[in-house]
Amino acid sequence: MKQKLFAALASIMLFSCGPQIYKSADFSNALSKHKTVAILPAEVSMQLRPNQAKSTTPEQMEEMTVKTGYDVQEKMYGWFLRRSDKYHYTVSFQDVTRTNAKLKEAGITYKDLKTTDRSKLAQLLGVDAVMQDRLSMEKPMSEGAAVAVGLLVGAWGNTNKVATTINIHDGNSGNLLWKYDYEAAGSVGSSTTRLVDALMRNATKKFPYSVN
């Protein structure tokens, strides 16, 4: 049964708008000083189909978005680790387990991340920069039962559209240095692993810490 489920969730097709990239005026100067970067849990929002929204409790919705946020964080970290030899990154990425432990120790919750100053986070985490992905997902589940599936196995059914923004903030000033906006539509993955793979394949081409 599980094999059939994952087989049904396996395909990824992307129909995308070209990425938009923002760089600050002190981008190059600031990046040259960065040695360690922390990846924060992703900020996730989901827009359900009307019938799904009716059958989904606020608690289920919150649990799924938080779980997805931490899953995306972990998968992004894994992406960078697996490709470090290929792209020769100029920085090291803090282990997300350490990142999350430090945040928890400081009493900073998932909800707090949205409003906490980035320089404060960088100082707390002991890094030179902080990176966070922001995902807006439309119709992320193919049927009502997918809520339970998403919570149990990290899969939600094919997503019709995902808008992603990757932000890198300087740890010293807290200023936004680099912003990557990308939108993909169609059948955009069925799990955080496939979603991150699809989105990061595009982001990596423009990623500031890579040496191609």
Q: How many CB atoms lie within 10 A of CB 143?
A: 11
- Position 158 pLDDT exceeds 50: yes
- Position 159 pLDDT exceeds 60: no
User: Would you list the DSSP string of 35-85?
Assistant: -EEEEPPPEEEEE--HHHHHH--HHHHHHHHHHHHHHHHHHHHHHHHHTHH
Question: Can you give the residue ranges of every domain in the chain?
Answer: 12-206
- Position 141 pLDDT exceeds 60: no
Model confidence over 65-93: pLDDT tens digits? 898 899 999 999 999 998 888 888 999 99
Which architecture characterizes domain 12-206 according to CATH?
Answer: 3-Layer(aba) Sandwich (3.40)
As a whole number of angstroms, the distance between CA 95 and CA 108 comes to 17
pTM: 0.81
- Kind and range of the H or E run holding 137: strand 129-138
Q: Give the confidence band of 18 by pLDDT, cuts at 50, 70, 90.
A: low
Model confidence over 174-189: pLDDT tens digits? 999 999 998 876 555 5
